[in-house]
Amino acid sequence: EEQKRRLENRPDQPQNPKVLRIAIIGAPNAGKSTLSNQLLGRKVFPVSKKVHTTRCKAQGVVTHEDTQLIILDTPGLTNPLKAKRHNLEEAMLTDPWDSMKHADLVLVLVDVSDHWTRNSLSKEVLKCLSQFPHIPSVLVLNKVDILKKKYLLLEIVVDLTEGIVNGKKLEVKSALKQDSSSSAKSPLQITQAPPPESKVPGSPCGQEKNQAQEGSGMDKSSDVGGAGTGEARGPRHCGPEDLKDRSGWPHFQEIFMLAALRGEEVDTLKRYLLMQAKPGPWEFHSDVLTNQSPQEICDNIIREKLLEYLPLEVPYGVTQVTEIWEEGKCGELLIVQSLLVPRESHKRMLIGRGGKVISRIAQEAGQDLMNAFLCDVRLKLKVEVKG
Range with lowest mean pLDDT among 52-56, 75-79, 164-168, 218-222:
218-222
Could you tell me where in the chain the CATH 3.30.300.20 domains are found?
Answer: 294-385
Q: What is the pLDDT of residue 161?
A: 95
**Residue 318 one-letter amino acid:** V
Neighbours of 228 (CB within 10 A): 18
Q: What is the pLDDT of residue 180?
A: 47
The C-alpha R_g of the chain, in whole angstroms, comes to 23
CA distance 163 to 302: 43
Determine the Cα angle at 23 with ends 51 and 313, to 5°: 10
Q: Which residues pair with 150 in a beta bridge?
A: none
Q: What is the pLDDT of residue 163?
A: 93
- Using the predicted structure, report yes or no on whether residue 277 has a pLDDT greater than 80: yes
With beta carbons less than 8 A apart as the criterion, state whether 278 and 19 touch: yes
pLDDT category, 100, cuts 50, 70, 90?
confident
CA distance 306 to 76: 19
- Using the predicted structure, report yes or no on whether residue 79 has a pLDDT greater than 50: no
Q: What is the pLDDT of residue 128?
A: 86
Helical axes 123-131 vs 91-101, angle rounded to 10°: 40
Percent of the chain with pLDDT over 90: 48
- Using the predicted structure, report yes or no on whether residue 306 has a pLDDT greater than 70: yes
Largest CA distance in the chain: 75
Using CB atoms within 10 A of its CB, is residue 275 exposed (0-12), middle (13-18) or buried (19+)? exposed
Q: What is the mean pLDDT of residues 251-278?
A: 95
Q: What is the mean pLDDT of residues 150-160?
A: 92
**Greater model confidence, 41 or 173:** 41
DSSP 8-state code for residue 191: E
Q: What is the mean pLDDT of residues 268-289?
A: 95
Q: What is the pLDDT of residue 155?
A: 93
Q: What is the pLDDT of residue 49?
A: 65
Q: What is the pLDDT of residue 33?
A: 86
- Using the predicted structure, report yes or no on whether residue 361 has a pLDDT greater than 60: yes
Could you tell me where in the chain the CATH 3.40.50.300 domains are found?
Answer: 1-172+243-279
CA distance 194 to 165: 11
- The CATH code of the domain at 294-385 is 3.30.300.20
CA distance 101 to 84: 25
Q: What is the 3-state secondary structure (H, E, C) of 224-272?
A: CCCCCCCCCCCCCCCCHHHHCCCCCCCCEEEEEECECCCCECHHHHHHH
CA distance 54 to 72: 12
- Using the predicted structure, report yes or no on whether residue 145 has a pLDDT greater than 70: yes
Strands, sheet with 188-192, edge to edge from the N-terminal-most edge strand: 164-165, 168-174, 188-192
CA distance 375 to 387: 35
Using CB atoms within 10 A of its CB, is residue 208 exposed (0-12), middle (13-18) or buried (19+)? exposed
CA distance 44 to 41: 9
Digit-coded pLDDT (tens) for 26-76: 887 788 889 999 999 988 888 876 655 444 567 899 999 999 999 986 665
**Cα first-last separation, the chain:** 32
Q: What is the pLDDT of residue 191?
A: 56
- Using the predicted structure, report yes or no on whether residue 203 has a pLDDT greater than 70: no
Output the average pLDDT for the chain. 79
Q: What is the pLDDT of residue 331?
A: 87
345-358 burial code (b ≥16 CB/10 A, e <16): ebbebbbbeeeebb
Please name the residues in contact with 189: beta carbons below 8 A apart, sequence gap of 6 or more: 172, 173, 175
- CATH fold of 1-172+243-279 reads Rossmann fold (3.40.50)
CA distance 374 to 371: 5
**Residue 132 one-letter amino acid:** F
CA distance 37 to 34: 5
Query: CA torsion sign, 30 to 33 to 34 to 36?
Result: positive
How many Cα atoms occupy the beta-carbon half-sphere of 92 within 13 Å?
23
Q: What is the mean pLDDT of residues 123-146?
A: 92
Q: What is the pLDDT of residue 199?
A: 36
Determine the Cα angle at 270 with ends 308 and 236, to 5°: 95
